[in-house]
Structure 1
Amino acid sequence: MAVIVRAGAAPMWWPGVLAAVAGSFVPGLTGRRIGLLAGAALFLVTAAVVATVRTGRYARLAETATRAGRGDFLQDRDVTVRAWRRGHRWWLLAAFVAAVGSAVAVPGAGGLLLAGAGAGLWLKAVRIGRRELKDDALYWVRTDRVERGRPAGAQVEEYRTTGPMAGDAAPGGARRHRR
């Protein structure tokens, strides 16, 4: 489940940083200084909002999680990340273009907004990872229940759990490093 949350972090963070850097070279209508200060404020607010939104639903689903059975199909981390990114690629491209285009009015602000959303998703995945470590279990969403890449959507009725060493994902959705 944390893999789905974390899947959007990098594709929002890096294009957001790139758009903010590109936007910082454009004078814009408001000027560079005001644009970058507004962008910094947007970054902080967006990261905080994205990191905290729907955390109550995540917690409720985690509390009622059941052990994964033999009939449950749980995807590998790479397959989940690839599916999420493929399903959202046009949205991500449109967000990048909008962030770069917003530099005409407010330099760097759109890019920092996008980067803030990526940072917020990463923070949310870290928070989920801490809960997984505390509960000594990995939380999974059945692949037939994932609704458009949303791990806490309306179709998700419950999470499944496995031991912390199951699968190829570490707590928090990071790639597990094998030794």
Structure 2
Amino acid sequence: MARGGESLARVAVAVRAGAAPLWWSGVLGAAVGALPPGLTGRRVGVFAGAALLLLAAAAVFLARRGRYARLAAEAGRAARQDILQDRAVTLRNRRRARRWWLLAAFPAAVASSFAVPVAGGLLVAGLGAGLWLKALWIGRREAAGDRLLWVSADRLAAGGGPAGRHVTAYRATGIAAGDAAPGGARRR
């Protein structure tokens, strides 16, 4: 790090990193899980899966929102020496740190289909949808405050995610900083 600066990763990108792998693992797991009739039958599995998708998405979306809001409200200005991490680097690092969980999602969704078809896959898809919705919520807060939120990459790597116990503060920059739009999507 140059002259006391630290590497910063976007909060919304870190939240969004697991959304796509979980969503697609869940959708594919639900599709494969629709093949065996299971113990409960496909109809019960689909209805249970739809309920689990909604509950999982809501639970992930609502989890730690107060902590995210508090850290965002107390965010200090990023120093000139701070290094802003690229979106692709943050995605790669977050997915690599969680690779075993992300890889286990598909087989777990398929295996659960022998008991309750489709339900496990839709549960995993709901987790991905909840992360995506949370990233959008953070993006709306960033756009409303006209600033982007960043977290120390070292503290993010320590575990617990962007609102974990190792994270004590966020940094803020102007809306044009970095290569990701508010919410963590690619800048167009």
TM-score by length of 2: 0.92
What is residue 150 of structure 2 aligned with on the other side? 140
What is residue 182 of structure 2 aligned with on the other side? 171
The worse-fitting range, judged by mean Cα deviation, of 70-79 and 168-177 is 70-79
Asked if 2 retains the 8 angstrom alpha-carbon contact of 1:20 and 1:100, the reply is yes
Distance 1:133 1:79, change over 3 A: same
More strand per residue: 1 or 2? Answer: 2
Q: Deviations over 1:119-148 (max 9, x none)?
A: 000000000000000000000001122133
Alignment of 1:81-96 (within 5 A): 81-96=91-106
Q: Deviations over 1:81-119 (max 9, x none)?
A: 001111111111112111110000000000000000000
What is residue 151 of structure 1 aligned with on the other side? 162
The worse-fitting range, judged by mean Cα deviation, of 89-98 and 79-88 is 89-98
The percent of aligned pairs where both chains have the same amino acid is 66
What amino acid sits opposite 1:41 in the alignment? A
Distance in 1 between the 2:25 and 2:139 partners? 25
Distance in 1 between the 2:24 and 2:81 partners? 38
Matched residue SS, 1:104: coil
How many residues are paired up? 177
Asked if 1 retains the 8 angstrom alpha-carbon contact of 2:41 and 2:117, the reply is yes
1:19 counterpart (29, 44, 67)? 29
What amino acid sits opposite 1:55 in the alignment? R
What amino acid sits opposite 2:76 in the alignment? T
TM-score by length of 1: 0.96
Q: Deviations over 1:5-59 (max 9, x none)?
A: 0011001001100000110111000000001110000000000010010000000
Asked if 2 retains the 8 angstrom alpha-carbon contact of 1:72 and 1:142, the reply is no
Q: Considering only aligned residues, what root-mean-square deviation do their CA atoms show, in Å? A: 0.9
**Unaligned residue ranges in structure 2 (runs of 5+):** 1-10
Distance in 1 between the 2:116 and 2:142 partners? 40
